[in-house]
Amino acid sequence: MTPNTDRNQQLFERARQRIPGGVNSPVRAFRAVGGTPRFVQRAQGAYFWDANGQRYIDYIGSWGPMILGHGHPAVLEAVQKAAVEGFSFGAPTEREIELAEAICERVPSVEMVRLVSSGTEAAMSALRLARGFTGRPKIIKFEGCYHGHADALLVKAGSGLATFGNPTSAGVPPEVVQHTLVLEYNNVAQLEEAFALHGKDIACLMIEPIAGNMNFVRAQVDFMKRCRELCTQHGALLVFDEVMTGFRVALGGAQSVYAKQIPGFAPDMTVMGKVIGGGMPLAAFGGARAVMEQLAPLGPVYQAGTLSGNPVATACGLATLKEISKPGFYETLGASTRSLVDGLKAAAARQGVGFSADCEGGMFGFFLLPELPQNYGAVMKSDSPAFNRLFHGLLDRGVYIAPALYEAGFVSAAHTAQDIAETVAAAEAVFAAR
């Protein structure tokens, strides 16, 4: 028998002995697409190398944080200096203040901010704060929007309009999600009826303004405008989950994109992560001063975290924010992303493949569908076997996209025109061979 020389396979088999499914976050297991996960050995710029030494053009970028590419010199220098000073103190540091100031300066709706360690922690804390501030129990979320794995947010749509959700994970009792209303994304009529039925009990509406967990689906302007109007009318808080979009689609986040189209638009609270940590475990939630002052130790809503505001993570985040704030950064990044998306659409068209795509800033998504879907139900009509063939075809040609049909992709400042040209050529070869 020929011995297995694939180090990825060897590591995966070893990992499954001690780690459930062999991974520490489910999508990494390649269950959706089949095959063996790539175990990353190192990364630099727009590339990473797996355990076999194979190089890939990386369009995941740690699921969004690596907006500058891997190993940016200024970020590395900041992290190395901070690490020498100390890994963690469990006490305040000046760097925490600097990062909070940097976030508030770039996102006008955020007057105060609390740093935490993960997007899930930020989202569940924002939810608690919304309930504490309003004194109301119910929340609205949308099918296809992912806000981390907090119990109250792990729900799917029930049958009929504005029904209460059912848990989508074992271990979540039904009573935990009895106050969670799950609506269809971009459905104005359903949104209006939900507020008509439950408006006085709704604490907040939480939404991904550009959903990245049903691939890339943006909220329509009229829908977002109605979300804001109804929250204001009924005294509920509008909470933007910008863990993925924050500082990724624009310097002011997705909310700045909508503010250009809706006069005076702003959410009441914002959940952030990924880019603000530059790849380190760091996230945040913030908003209007009156809301944030309800947090302990000022107010009655309790939240705490031993590693919150970690000194190494804040150094990484600050260095990243400094780089992306330089003039012309987003114009260049957006042009690269648009070049990739346009190239993929043209390649699909030449090969007669049904294909649609969209992008904003350094975030993109595509569907093997003739038109862009507007909600999760439409996304579910995508051709999964065709996507799996495309995924593995690209992987074999040294291009790494998300190993799941329902995930957005990310371009970094390190991706070159040559990288994009190679990616488009690889995709066209896969389309032609279908």
Catalytic residue numbers, as ranges: 146, 241, 274
Closest listed residue to residue 409, CA positions, set 320, 344, 348: 344
Structure tokens at 204: 């907040």
Neighbours of 263 (CB within 10 A): 7
Identify whether 297 is preceded by a cis peptide bond (ω within 30 of 0). yes
Region for residue 361 given its phi and psi (left: phi exceeds 0; alpha: psi -120 to 50; beta: otherwise):
left
Structure tokens at 315: 């150094």
CA dist., res. 128 & res. 133, Å (int): 9
CA dist., res. 337 & res. 359, Å (int): 7
CA dist., res. 223 & res. 118, Å (int): 28
User: What single-letter DSSP state applies at residue 384?
Assistant: H
User: What single-letter DSSP state applies at residue 54?
Assistant: -
Residue 199 phi/psi, 5° resolution? -50, -40
| CB neighbour burial string for 355-371, b if at least 16 within 10 angstroms, e if fewer | bbbbbbbbbbbbbbeee
CA dist., res. 13 & res. 7, Å (int): 10
SS3 annotation, 71-119? CCHHHHHHHHHHHHHCCCCCCCCHHHHHHHHHHHHHCCCCCEEEEECCH
User: What single-letter DSSP state applies at residue 164?
Assistant: B
Structure tokens at 390: 């495309």
